[in-house]
Amino acid sequence: MTSVPDVIQTWQMVQPWTRDKETGTQTPGRLERTSIRMPELHPGEVLVEIAGCGVCHTDLGYFYDAVPTVSTPPLTLGHEISGRVVAGEKSWIGKEVIIPAVMPCNDCAICAAGRGNRCLNQKMPGNSLGIYGGFSSHIPVPATDLCVVKDRGDMPLEQLAVVADAVTTPYQAVTRADLQAGDRVVVVGAAGGVGTYVVQIAKALGAGTVIGIDLKQEKLERALQYGADFVIHSANKDVKEVRNEFRALCKEHGLPSNFGWKIFEVTGAKAGQEISLALLSFVGKLIWIGFSADVNEYSLSRLMAFDAEIIGTWGCLPKHYPAALQMVLDGRIQIEPFVEIRPMSTIRETFEEAHTGKLTKRIVLTPDF
């Protein structure tokens, strides 16, 4: 049995990157290694010894792009966590778990309506769970919604950290899209950290055709090995060119191009959003997963003419975690080719590499305090 230390070792975001509005002076953000007092656990809470925590674009948004965290810094970032319960509620001790990236309160009108993934009282490690986050040795969390990991064979527990967000957010999105066997799917941003899983999950759940669109040729070719039937390389092409290529591809393969497509916008970038909107057509669905502050220009009345819809999707209901995890464990979703494990002490360099777009895999940091 693991002993519980007196303190939590952690990499705190002491301050985010800031830019003075008047002078324009930029102050780099700071991540500092420190230790914090081990908190007293309340009834219903457990302490998780962290196996791994994924580095997500959301973390980078907090650190580099002035996206405010709910808890005021200093706090520890990181919300994509796997680990083992080492203290707290007795029935949980010793269990390996994935911590849902957003944990609903389970006690409000939104939760009662089955929409707990957008509960307004939700707790998210590395954002709204006090000062606690995943780039640490341990984290205290409510036990209720933890996802138990069983029979993982030789899959490392730290690798499963990506189930907490990168896999489950797409899972929720595909569920929101009401994906049916035979559906025609487009994923804009198919080669990225989240898009990769949208492609795999859509295909695994029976999509008839999955077309991946992305800027990066090399990564797109990888997508062809993991669920995509066809790909469109969109770099240096305008929206019309991409749409024409999509139509030509449909024609070549005997698919209708003008109705019934479920399009997933995963890029959170204006160019990707414009492609997604241009491909939306009759009785189609556009599922909006990526986030940007951009204002879009679109005649929403087209949705009326198309009998179509745009669905925004946020996080994932904890109740879906076991199903998503099972798909990973039985190989229907491959995560190993898309994950790289690094020691947590590389956090500063890893953030910098992720921020400058140099990574081709999602990084999971393992505690090495």
The distance of closest approach from Cβ of residue 62 to its own copies in the complex, given in angstroms and rounded to an integer, is: 15
List the one residue from 18, 26, 27, 292 that touches its own copies (CB under 8 A).
Answer: 292
Stretch that binds its own copies, among 78-86, 90-98, 160-168, 289-297 (CB under 8 A): 289-297
Exposed/middle/buried for residue 89 (C-beta within 10 Å: 0-12, 13-18, 19+): middle
- Verify binding: residue 68, its own copies, rule CB under 8 A: no
Instruction: Calculate Rg over the CA atoms of the chain.
Output: 21
List the one residue from 36, 38, 110, 278 that touches its own copies (CB under 8 A).
Answer: 110
What backbone torsions phi and psi does residue 347 show, to the nearest 5 degrees? -55, -40
List the one residue from 5, 130, 156, 260 that touches its own copies (CB under 8 A).
Answer: 260
- Verify binding: residue 296, its own copies, rule CB under 8 A: yes
By beta-carbon proximity to its own copies, the closer residue of 93 and 108 is 108
Stretch that binds its own copies, among 148-156, 214-222, 232-240, 254-262 (CB under 8 A): 254-262
**Token pair recorded at residue 66:** 């002035």
By beta-carbon proximity to its own copies, the closer residue of 17 and 306 is 306
Omega prior to 125 cis, within 30 of 0: no
Stretch that binds its own copies, among 108-116, 195-203, 227-235, 330-338 (CB under 8 A): 108-116
Cα(102)–Cα(105) distance, integer angstroms: 10
Q: Give the contact letters, 300-329, x = binds to its own copies (CB under 8 A), - = no.
A: xxxxxxxxxxxxxxxx--------------
- Verify binding: residue 181, its own copies, rule CB under 8 A: no
Side chain identity at residue 77, one-letter code: L
List the one residue from 127, 136, 209, 273 that touches its own copies (CB under 8 A).
Answer: 273
List the one residue from 3, 25, 72, 299 that touches its own copies (CB under 8 A).
Answer: 299
Quote the crossing angle between the two packed helices 321-329 and 195-204, to the nearest 10°: 80
Asked if 194 contacts 174 with a C-beta cutoff of 8 angstroms, the reply is no
Q: Which residues of 32-60 are buried (b: 16+ CB within 10 A; e: fewer)?
A: eeeebeeeebeeebbbbbbbbbbbbbbbb
The distance of closest approach from Cβ of residue 189 to its own copies in the complex, given in angstroms and rounded to an integer, is: 13
By beta-carbon proximity to its own copies, the closer residue of 4 and 120 is 120
**Token pair recorded at residue 266:** 């995963």
Stretch that binds its own copies, among 68-76, 145-153, 291-299, 344-352 (CB under 8 A): 291-299
| Number of Cβ within a 10 Å radius of residue 195 | 28
Q: What is the 3-state secondary structure (H, E, C) of 16-75?
A: CCEECCCCCCEECCEEEEEEEECCCCCCCEEEEEEEEEECCHHHHHHHHCCCCCCCCCCE
Residues that bind its own copies (CB under 8 A): 109-110, 113, 115, 117-118, 120, 256, 258-260, 268, 273, 282-283, 288-315
